[in-house]
Each structure stands twice: as structure tokens, then as C-alpha cells.
Amino acid sequence: MSFLAWIVLGLIAGFIASKIVNKQGEGFFLDIILGIVGAVAGGWIFSAFGAQGVSGINLYSILVAVIGAVVVLALYHALRRAA
């Protein structure tokens, strides 16, 4: 995938995941960064279980990225509360 596609997928996944996790979002840039990290994490998690990871901008990839972003956001909030 191209760099722009990762940005778009990260924005979508980060926005949706932040609405799921804390209902208000973390801010535009942090949503993108955590969404991209979540897309990578989601692809890794799905690949570890034998499923296809992120393959482009499509509904399945957005679902994978959102699941990964929710995991990343949950870890982010847990670490932030601990500090």
C-alpha cells in the first residue's frame, strides 16, 4: 500500500477506534498515528491467527485496522493511566 493509503486507513481506523474506546477521540494527529499503528498491529494479529491482514482500502482492511487500533488505544490508555 502507498503511504497516502496508510494515512487514509489510519485516519479512518483511528477515528472509529477512538469513538469506540473513549467516545471523544484523542485529536486529529494522534488518531492518525494510533490508527496507523493499529492497522499494522491488526494486520500482525490477524496474520498470526492465519487470516489475511491489511490489503488495501476496503471494508475488510478497515475492520482489521479498527480492531488493531482498539487494541493499541486500550494499551495507550492503560499506560497513560499508570504514569
Provide the residue ranges of all domains of the chain, joining segments of one domain with +: 3-82
Each residue's pLDDT, cut to its tens digit, for the chain (83 residues) gives 677 777 788 788 888 888 888 776 667 777 778 878 888 888 888 888 988 877 778 888 888 889 998 898 888 888 888 86
In this structure, the chain runs to a length of 83
